[in-house]
Amino acid sequence: MARIHLIGTGGTIASRAQTEGGPVTAGLTAQSLLAGLHDPLTGIEVSAESFQAKGSYALDLATVFRLCRRIDDVLADPSIDGVVVTHGTDTMEESAYLAYLLVSSDKPVVFTGAQRHAGEADTDGPRNIAEAIRAAACNALTGAGATICFEGEIHSARHVTKFHSSRVDTFRSPGFGKLGDVDGPNVHVTRLNSAKRKIFTPAQIDPDVELMLLGLGSRADFLSWAVANGASGVVLAAFGRGNAPVGFAQAAADAIKKGVPVLVASRCPEGRTMPIYGNDSGGRTLDDAGVIFAGDLPPVKTRLLLAVLLGSGYQIEEIRRYIVGFGEANPDGSE
């Protein structure tokens, strides 16, 4: 019999409206979520604990770091075969990606949640939990790193993102596709990452990495302001292949001279960055300024990777060598 441990962290799946039409807030325990399952989990024994009952929009890097350490502690028990984490969907892809980078065990770690809160008649929470538990009990996911199981689909934390603000089929992996499906009691894994993931063991995650979404005519003053006010690193969510508005190349060069790494990721949901265009501040100009290109890693996950690298003591050139060493298409060493 497989043994799976459920860790509850709040989110929509653990939330209800306290009054009709009132605000929805988290508060249900992991044990109550487990008690509310509709499907029998034949051949699987499940234990549960509540970690922190918050909406995922209220979490921070230090809390998720503690969550990852707790997951590793649980999986160190040889009698536990996998972990399921219930989590709010707003930042689930970020917490799952941190688990992908930080959890050292190869046992399955599966995140799930809900788009419809527990007080709604058609809440999707109970089915998602049951399917995530089945996925966590699947030996085929051993070594895959953290995943998200949602609406019957299993996605790698490395590639998945929340696509729709409210639909129940919100999670997708643009350009890569899902790893598999849960179909009733059966789990079908049809694709796995071909490269072994890099696992980090920092004492903490650097909390001071900033992310800037660039738009038409955005001012480079914001990059300079962030550096002047204590940012340890900056990620630019830039245009296309990795281009920025006028002034960003000089502002990035100034930041890098002060020891603050500047990384560029693309706003586009598919494709990779590559320094091609010249002039101020095309990708080639940014590259000449010392900016590091993040390949196909999305901006929010590039920020998390940089926060982990800085927390691990990496300096700018070590960060550059690490990312370039795996190829700009694979900045975390994965597929």
Backbone angles phi, psi at 210, to 5 degrees: -105, 150
Backbone angles phi, psi at 323, to 5 degrees: -70, -45
Bond prior to 105 in cis (omega within 30° of 0)? no
* Catalytic residue from among 89, 123, 161, 273: 89
Clarify whether 302 is annotated catalytic. Answer: no
Query: What is the Cα–Cα distance from 48 to 54, expressed in whole angstroms?
Result: 17
- Give residues with Cβ within 8 angstroms of 119, minimum separation 6: 15, 16, 17, 24
Distance of CA 245 to the CA centre of its chain: 27
Clarify whether 273 is annotated catalytic. Answer: no
| Integer CA distances (angstroms), 126 to 99, 224, 307, in order | 23, 47, 34
Torsion sign across C-alpha atoms 325, 328, 331, 335: negative
Which residue matches tokens 């998200």?
148
Helix or strand or coil: residue 310? helix
Query: What is the Cα–Cα distance from 26 to 170, expressed in whole angstroms?
Result: 20
* Catalytic residue from among 9, 12, 91, 161: 12
For 203, other C-beta atoms within 10 Å of its C-beta total 8
Distance of CA 281 to the CA centre of its chain: 29
In the DSSP assignment, the letter for residue 243 is: B
Residues involved in catalysis: 12, 89
